[in-house]
Every structure is written in C-alpha cells, then in structure tokens.
C-alpha cells in the first residue's frame, strides 16, 4: 500500500501511528532500538514495516507511565486482565476507549434489544474489582445511558444466585433483561435459574471466548425461544479493548454455514463431513476507524488502536482474517447464497477470528489448544449433562510418561457415568484429529496411548471457577 486516501481507514491509522511515535516514550524507544526515525513514517508501506509488539515484548517490558500518551490525569481507569494465560497485567483506559466501545455496543443493543425504546435491566456479570471486563462494560453502559439508551445497570458478578436475586427483586419493572456474561456463566444462570429467566424477555451478550452455533441453539432452547435472536457474541481483548460484534447478518451466515459444508468452506475455509464436528471462527463486524487490523504472514491479527495506552501492530496471539463486505458478498454468491449476500453491507469491514494460540498444553510436541476440545464438550448430545467447562492438561508421571487429560464439569445434580465419559472421549478424539495434523500423526503412531483420559467432575468442583474467567488449558 502507498500513501493512504483521506477517506480510507488506513489514513487514520497512519496519522495515529505518527502521533504515537512522537508522544509515547516507550514506543519512541522501541523505534530507536530498531533504528527507525519516527519522522520517516510517511506511508502505509512504512507502517507495515514497523516492528510488531506484544504483551511480553512491549507492555511488560515497560513501566505503565511510559506507555501512556498525554497527562496522567487523562487516565480514567487502571484495571487488570483476568490472567487466564498467566499473571494479570494492568492496563490504562480513558474516555476515548469508552467512546469507541459505546459507539459499537450501541449498535449491538440497538439491533438486538432496541434499548433506545425499551426499558432495560442490564446485568453485568463480568467481575469488577481490579478486572477490566466488568469495569469497561459498566463504563460503556453508563455512556450509553447518556446517549439515550433506556438502561438501568446492576453489577451482580458471576454468582448465579446473586444474579437471580437481582432479577427477582427488580426485573418486573422492565420490558427486558440484557445479560453480559462469559459463555459458561450464561449457561450457569440458565442451568440453575432457567425458570426465572424464561419468565422474562432475556437477551444474552457473551464475550471472552468463542461459542459454537450448537451452543447458541441450546441457549435459545433453554430460553424457550428456539427461533429467536437472543444471543450475540462480541469480540475484544483486555489489551486492545472492544473490537467487533455479531450482527443479524453475520449470525445468519454462520448458522447457514453450520448446516452446509460447502458454504462453510467458502466462507471460513473448512469443510466437514456428516460425522464431523463443525469448526467455525467467530464472524464479527468491526470499525477500522476505531481498530485498524492487519494480518501478518503467519496469520496472526495485528491491532493498532489509540487511547491513553495506544498500541501499534500489537499481537494478542489470535489468528484470523479481515474481509470487506464486497468480498463477503462474493463468497456467498459463489457458494450459491445470493439472498444472504444482499444482507451484507458491501462497505462494512468484517473479521474472522480462529482462536488464540498462547494458552496451549503440549503433548508429544503437539500444541493442544482449547478450541480443539470445545466442540466436543459443547456437543448438543451432551447439553443436558455438561456445563461446557473443561480443563485440559498434559500430566507426566515419575517415569516422564505423558498423559493427555480432560477434566469436564457436570451440570448440577448430574453424576459421573462411563457412557458420558466415553462419549466425550470419542468426540474429543474426533475433534483433535480433525483440527490438528500433528495430533493425527501422533495418534496414528501411539493409538490409545495418545487419547485423552476424560474425568467427569461435579458441578463447581475445584478448578472450575465461578468468580473469574475459566482457564481451559493448563
């Protein structure tokens, strides 16, 4: 790419990077270390040749004060990540981040809940305290109130009983409830207090980890609205903030692709046979004027964002791809779905997120990622028995023999049984073989020795958190 057109999002990204290079001490040092003159960043080609950054190489390598642009009092909030991949890390947020999040979340709430016209009880179940998820969501909802959304906000946290207490006390005064949650917490709420929530008009907005179309269908069933539009997925990261959101059109495309292998191949690059588990990325719309996204040669997403702690070409270790709406339309038409193509905005920007790669167990030199197991434990045939939470480990005995283990949480009142454990094991093997060529080689060589040992654990037993983000791989 050459000099960016004034109306192209890349022009905004280039101006932002030029500003960061002049105003952020830590980034200026990084450029100096790479022999780059900040004043020489003049074109998109220059931007694309800048070094990539990450939590380890940039955030943790510098003091928080050196990473910030502007004055200390421009920082509104200092909060930490959930620490799902290690030690929690602290991040600064200011009004610009809130404005960006509110602009995009306003679209989500407008489309799926009409919160500008419907009195809404908003329940933030992400943890508060030092954690950025709850604090950021609360700030965005307060901002949306100022912008005319009819929201009353409660922050009950993750305990299903506390959430239910709020609903029992306050929900009758509202036309609807919108619940913001990690997917396992949303499932907990419906498992433990489904009758209560079915008495209300409920919309669930989830983030923090991917969900399958089978999971979405299950939640709609548990809400008593099989054909509804009550589940939306948002995508973001502690580091870069809120990035993208599902729309009615992206959900329709993803749902259709879950039923048609040819469409799944055309849209997402993977096909499946009748007996296979369907593998799909998150499919969201994003605003490049807020978050500029590149894809490096290895398929990793690189984010450039502004704010009081701006980031340039920052890698969160998610793989993915970016598409403009016209390209999405072309894929749909080529796959025989012209009607779906009509609902895609040709000028919008879309993001495919295939999952994070920085939280892997290693078995026989094979990286094992959470996404390899999630389709198995979320399989519709297991929905009445499992919560969807799991912990995968590679355990080593005294003679250094490795065993791949999978601890799976049972739903309340469910007891371990050999049939369920065997079904999870077989589905996990199928998913591992389907997604990992390296695992297929090891499995072909070692046979049963390479297969996961499944252990069914009681609801809320040790390791399955209720007060934070679930860590799925150790």
pLDDT, residue 1, reads 38
Q: Which residue has the higher pLDDT, 208 or 421?
A: 421
Mean pLDDT of 442-448: 84
pLDDT, residue 122, reads 98
pLDDT, residue 182, reads 85
Confidence at 7, pLDDT banded by 50, 70, 90 = low
Locate 303 and state its tokens. Answer: 């984010």
Examine the pLDDT at 85 and tell me if it is beyond 60: no
Q: Which residue has the higher pLDDT, 303 or 469?
A: 303
The CA distances from residue 30 to 10, 24, 47, 264, 314, in Å, are: 22, 10, 14, 41, 13
Query: Is-above-0.85 flag for pTM?
Result: no
Examine the pLDDT at 2 and tell me if it is beyond 50: no
- Please state which of the ranges 65-74, 102-111, 439-448 shows the lowest mean pLDDT: 439-448
Torsion angle (degrees, nearest 10) of CA 208, 268, 311, 33: 130
pLDDT, residue 399, reads 57
Cα distance between residue 14 and residue 85, in whole Å: 31
- Please state which of the ranges 175-189, 340-354, 396-410, 438-452 shows the lowest mean pLDDT: 396-410
Examine the pLDDT at 37 and tell me if it is beyond 90: yes
Examine the pLDDT at 9 and tell me if it is beyond 50: yes
Residue 2 near residue 44, CB atoms below 8 Å: yes
């Amino acid at each position: 790419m050459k000099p960016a057109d004034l109306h192209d999002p890349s022009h905004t990204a280039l101006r932002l990077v030029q500003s960061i290079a002049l105003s952020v001490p830590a980034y200026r040092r990084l450029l100096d270390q790479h022999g780059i003159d900040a004043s020489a960043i003049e074109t998109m080609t220059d931007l694309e040749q800048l070094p990539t950054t990450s939590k380890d190489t940039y955030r943790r390598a510098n003091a928080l004060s050196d990473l910030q642009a502007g004055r200390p009092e421009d920082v509104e909030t200092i909060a930490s990540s959930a620490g799902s991949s290690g030690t929690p890390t602290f991040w600064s947020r200011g009004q610009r981040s809130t404005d960006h999040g509110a602009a995009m979340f306003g679209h989500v709430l407008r489309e799926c809940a009409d919160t500008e016209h419907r009195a809404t009880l908003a329940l933030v179940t992400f943890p508060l305290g030092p954690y950025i998820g709850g604090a950021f969501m609360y700030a965005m909802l307060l901002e949306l109130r100022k912008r005319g959304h009819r929201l009353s906000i409660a922050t009950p946290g993750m305990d299903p009983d506390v959430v239910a207490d709020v609903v029992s006390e306050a929900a009758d005064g509202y036309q609807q409830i919108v619940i913001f949650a990690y997917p396992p917490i949303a499932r907990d709420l419906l498992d433990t207090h489904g009758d209560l929530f079915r008495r209300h008009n409920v919309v669930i907005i989830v983030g923090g980890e991917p969900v399958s179309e089978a999971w979405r269908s299950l939640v709609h069933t548990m809400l008593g609205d099989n054909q509804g539009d009550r589940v939306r997925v948002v995508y973001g990261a502690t580091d870069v903030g809120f990035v993208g959101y599902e729309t009615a059109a992206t959900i329709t495309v993803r749902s259709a692709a879950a039923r048609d292998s040819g469409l799944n191949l055309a849209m997402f690059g993977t096909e499946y046979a009748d007996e296979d588990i369907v593998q799909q990325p998150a499919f969201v719309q994003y605003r490049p004027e807020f978050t500029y996204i590149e894809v490096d040669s290895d398929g990793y997403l690189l984010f450039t964002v502004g704010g009081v702690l701006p980031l340039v070409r920052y890698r969160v270790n998610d793989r993915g791809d970016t598409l403009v709406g016209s390209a999405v339309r072309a894929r749909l038409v080529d796959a025989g779905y012209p009607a779906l193509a009509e609902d895609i905005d040709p000028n919008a920007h879309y993001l495919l997120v295939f999952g994070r790669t920085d939280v892997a167990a290693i078995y026989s030199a094979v990286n094992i990622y959470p996404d390899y197991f999630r389709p198995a434990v979320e399989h519709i045939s297991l929905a009445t028995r499992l919560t969807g939470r799991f912990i995968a480990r590679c355990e080593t005995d005294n003679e250094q023999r490795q065993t791949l283990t999978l601890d799976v949480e049972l739903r309340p009142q469910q007891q371990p049984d050999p049939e369920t454990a065997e079904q999870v094991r077989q589905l996990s093997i199928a998913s591992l073989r389907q997604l990992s060529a390296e695992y297929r080689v090891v499995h072909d060589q070692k046979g049963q020795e390479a297969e996961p040992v499944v252990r069914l654990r009681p609801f809320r037993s040790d390791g399955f958190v209720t007060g934070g983000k679930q860590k799925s791989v150790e």
